[in-house]
Structure 1
Amino acid sequence: MKTNNNIPAYRFQGYTDAWELRKLGELAEIVRGASPRPIQDPKWFDEQSEIGWLRISDVTEQDGRIYHLEQKISELGQQKTRVLVEPHLLLSIAATVGKPVVNYVKTGVHDGFLIFLEPRFEQEFMFQWLEMFRSSWSKYGQPGSQVNLNSDLVKNQELSIPSLPEQEAIGTFFSTLDKHITLHQRKLDTLKEQKKTYLKLLFPAKGQTKPALRFQGFEDDWEEVKLSAVISKEIKGKAKSEMQGSSEVYLETEYLNGGTKSFVDCEKDVEEDDILILWDGSQAGMVYHGFSGALGSTLKAYRPKESGKFIYYQLVSQQNLIFKKYRTPNIPQVIKTFTDEFQIFYTSLPEQEAIGTFFQTLDQEIAQVEDKLASLKEMKKTLLRKLFVS
């Protein structure tokens, strides 16, 4: 545990020495990248070149660890920039200000980056320290303006730094944790892509009578019907002030999207199998399922005649169509004749239940991975504070 200001709250076993206060400029030669001008001129670029061109957008897309670059810089362009042929640590000073970057490929470096040359630190340790310190660069910005980092500000920034072996231990720990985070992020991305694919394949395409992919044992044609034909009741939401009755959860879009519960003295009018739709607002047309309580004034609910999960997931598969075709043009609001105009495909109840359960299970798996990913990211935030001297 931390006993003074020169050691972190948490330490790996075997390390007891106090950390040393240094300036970043004492630990590396910090120089700025360079960009050929005008940057739009095609003569600076060559698809056949083995030297990539690192841009701010690459940092965002690859979250600070650069393993590939699509754009290549020409021999002429290389004369106008700084070319790196070995892995280097960089710091973004434009757009995503203060974002640390480890570049693993041969590249020319945009003038929106600072480069740490001849480092006298363990690279992964410093990458993680800069990640921890990132929000603190805001102290150099004026209220309401963008932070402006230059090489002198960065060079003069002080930090506490341990011995090289302890730097390596900390860097290795966070590198391993980052790999776990990346694996969970990839798993989440894969599951979400799988869901998109299944939403296309398990419901018929327009003009078809059968889906491209079916569960075993189902062969009959599907029927195309109006949404109004498969719901038994439409429930309109109310303002909190209009509610009377027993205490129930008040279903608002904030709660449906993961916010905190709101309780009011009101009657429960929505059951878990009902399909909810946001009736007005910028996201009018968004559909929800699996909630019960009192319905808020910006929402409507449809009570299904058979499987609500099946109807809900078919609406999800057509979510973009609802946004584009079934809202009023000025103030976003679902059209009043939505249920009489919107067409869905309908099949036997056993097939409805099989499809609904499949997607529900897939959503549960997605939620579990999301929770684990959020937990790992929160753990990293905590450990960045505890394993470094702030």
Structure 2
Amino acid sequence: MKNNQTPEIRFPGFIEYWKQQKLGDLADFSKGNGYSKSDLTNEGEPIILYGRLYTKYETVIQSVDTFTIEKEKSVVSKGNEVIVPSSGETSEDISRASVVKEPGIILGGDLNIIRPTNDIDSVFLALSISNGKQRKELIKRAQGKSVVHLHNSDLKEVNLSFSKKEEQTKIADFFKQLDATIVFQEQELTTLKQTKKGFLQKMFPKEGESVPEVRFSGFTGDWEQRKLREMLADPVTDGPHETPKLEESGIPFISVDAIVDNQIDFDRKRGYISEETDELYSKKYRPQYHDVFLVKSGSTVGKTAIVETKERFNIWSPLAAMRVGEVSDPYFLYFLLQTRKVQNQVKDKASSGTQPNLGMRELEKFHTQITPNLEEQKKIGAFFQQLDNLITLHQRELDALKETKKAFLQKMFV
């Protein structure tokens, strides 16, 4: 049975109420010493800089990839310290902790260093600081405007809820294993994305070449130089330029913010438009199954997506829409637009005003190389489609693991 001094989920055999005590009574505190980015070297002694705590490191720091030359007054880890950044841009950034497991690592400036007593597991403490009510307490204590600060005096006042050491260690080991699984999944996802990037370079001809480096067996002959317009059934078009009136229900309406990882994320739709508005806008363009989109303005110019739904929706003008002709495969076009050759043209041609902007007629004139064999186009499109599906699957598994961790953090701590 859960009360305010026991977590909702526990390992078997643990029934005692958790204690609550000021962190200042359970640890010793110190500070790191003055290093900056200018002190970094290509090799030397490993050093942790405070900014990396909220951009790179997880709960347990497994490896350090920044190095420096040790100074006379360097603060060096003895192992199992908990470190918390003492300054940052937001209170959420700095209200987090990591554990330095290995001794001999230099601890740079703007780091609060906590050495817990033998009653407190260091990983358990870092997890407690970074999550739940302890983190909320630190966020409230962080002070500042352009830069916020957390001091050891703030950390000492945190009310830590904790169980006996044996249970703390079991909880810590559980989350270390979960973190290791998440890191492995992230590495797998990165490898898949790099694999796709490599194949995009090898399965489409490089600049000045007429055939790709890698090709499906049975296909020969040079690829042909074409302008993008020659692949399309209709001119490049876009959605309405005026801002529509959004409704609480109706036809989904999307813009560039719905294009994420070269896919349409309908959860990021702008809202809905009425049947009447959709009919009015669709006189100019109505999205169809396997239409290809390219973001033609804004910070994400060049991002692509392909329509994989037959449900009705509509788009706003920052999206350029393309529909292939009978001699082209839509997925071939979709992945062709992601190649370095086309993306470089996007960067070159997008006007450099207050924000990048690519004209539709300019887009139609893009130089491309395509195989005139429709079957080869389909094989290339299907290959990359399968690779994208695998990437999506791994991304969903990674997202599910992170949600699982979040749920357990809520239920395994007081």
TM-score higher than 0.5 here? yes
Q: Which position in structure 2 is the counterpart of 1:171? A: 172
**Partners in 1 of 2:222 and 2:255 — Cα distance?**
38
Q: Which position in structure 2 is the counterpart of 1:33? A: 32
Q: Which position in structure 2 is the counterpart of 1:191? A: 192
5 Å matches for 1:255-334? Answer: 255-257=258-260, 258-260=265-267, 261=269, 262-264=271-273, 265=275, 266-267=278-279, 269-291=286-308, 293-305=313-325, 306-318=328-340, 320-330=343-353, 331-334=355-358
Partner deviation per Cα, 1:323-348 (whole Å, 9 max, x = no partner): 41121221422124324420111111
**Partners in 1 of 2:336 and 2:183 — Cα distance?**
31
Give the deviation of 1:354 after TM superposition. Answer: 0.8
Partner deviation per Cα, 1:52-84 (whole Å, 9 max, x = no partner): 222134433333533333444435x0x212112
**Partners in 2 of 1:206 and 1:281 — Cα distance?**
27
Q: Which position in structure 2 is the counterpart of 1:100? A: 97
Amino acid at match of 2:69: S
Give the deviation of 1:364 after TM superposition. Answer: 1.1
**Partners in 2 of 1:31 and 1:192 — Cα distance?**
42
**Partners in 2 of 1:46 and 1:196 — Cα distance?**
30
Partner deviation per Cα, 1:211-240 (whole Å, 9 max, x = no partner): 111122222211111001111113331257
Q: Which position in structure 2 is the counterpart of 1:63? A: 58
Distance 1:40 1:164, change over 3 A: closer
Give the deviation of 1:252 after TM superposition. Answer: 2.6
Give the deviation of 1:193 after TM superposition. Answer: 1.0
SS of structure 1 residue aligned to 2:335: helix
Give the deviation of 1:169 after TM superposition. Answer: 1.5
On the 8 A contact 2:80/2:101 being kept in 1, the answer is yes
**Partners in 1 of 2:141 and 2:272 — Cα distance?**
43
**Partners in 2 of 1:383 and 1:25 — Cα distance?**
27
SS of structure 2 residue aligned to 1:205: coil
Q: Which position in structure 1 is the counterpart of 2:391? A: 366
Partner deviation per Cα, 1:71-105 (whole Å, 9 max, x = no partner): 44435x0x212112434322222234123122234
For normalisation by structure 1, the TM-score amounts to 0.88
1:116 lines up with 2:114 in the alignment: yes
Distance 1:57 1:149, change over 3 A: closer
Distance 1:103 1:249, change over 3 A: same
User: How high is the sequence identity, in percent, across the aligned residues?
Assistant: 26
On the 8 A contact 1:226/1:340 being kept in 2, the answer is yes
**Partners in 2 of 1:346 and 1:162 — Cα distance?**
65
Worse-matched range after superposition: 259-268 or 328-337: 259-268
Q: Which position in structure 2 is the counterpart of 1:388? A: 413
Give the deviation of 1:114 after TM superposition. Answer: 1.7
In structure 1, list runs of 5 or more residues that go unmatched.
none
On the 8 A contact 1:56/1:112 being kept in 2, the answer is yes
Amino acid at match of 2:366: F
SS of structure 2 residue aligned to 1:232: coil
Q: How many residues align?
A: 378
For normalisation by structure 2, the TM-score amounts to 0.83
SS of structure 1 residue aligned to 2:301: coil
Instruction: Identify the match of residue 89 of structure 1 among 78, 82, 104.
Output: 82
1:350 lines up with 2:372 in the alignment: no
Cα RMSD (Å) of the superposition?
2.6
Q: Which position in structure 2 is the counterpart of 1:341? A: 365
Distance 1:386 1:146, change over 3 A: farther
Distance 1:100 1:241, change over 3 A: closer
Worse-matched range after superposition: 53-62 or 187-196: 53-62
SS of structure 1 residue aligned to 2:84: strand
Q: Which position in structure 2 is the counterpart of 1:250? A: 253
**Partners in 1 of 2:370 and 2:186 — Cα distance?**
35
**Partners in 1 of 2:99 and 2:33 — Cα distance?**
17
SS of structure 2 residue aligned to 1:114: strand
In structure 2, list runs of 5 or more residues that go unmatched.
none
Give the deviation of 1:177 after TM superposition. Answer: 1.1
Distance 1:212 1:87, change over 3 A: farther
Partner deviation per Cα, 1:121-150 (whole Å, 9 max, x = no partner): 112211211221435422023585543111
SS of structure 1 residue aligned to 2:207: coil
Amino acid at match of 1:55: L
Q: Which position in structure 2 is the counterpart of 1:162? A: 163
5 Å matches for 1:198-277? Answer: 198-234=199-235, 235-238=237-240, 239=242, 241=244, 248-257=251-260, 258-260=265-267, 261=269, 262-264=271-273, 265=275, 266-267=278-279, 269-277=286-294
Worse-matched range after superposition: 350-359 or 295-304: 295-304
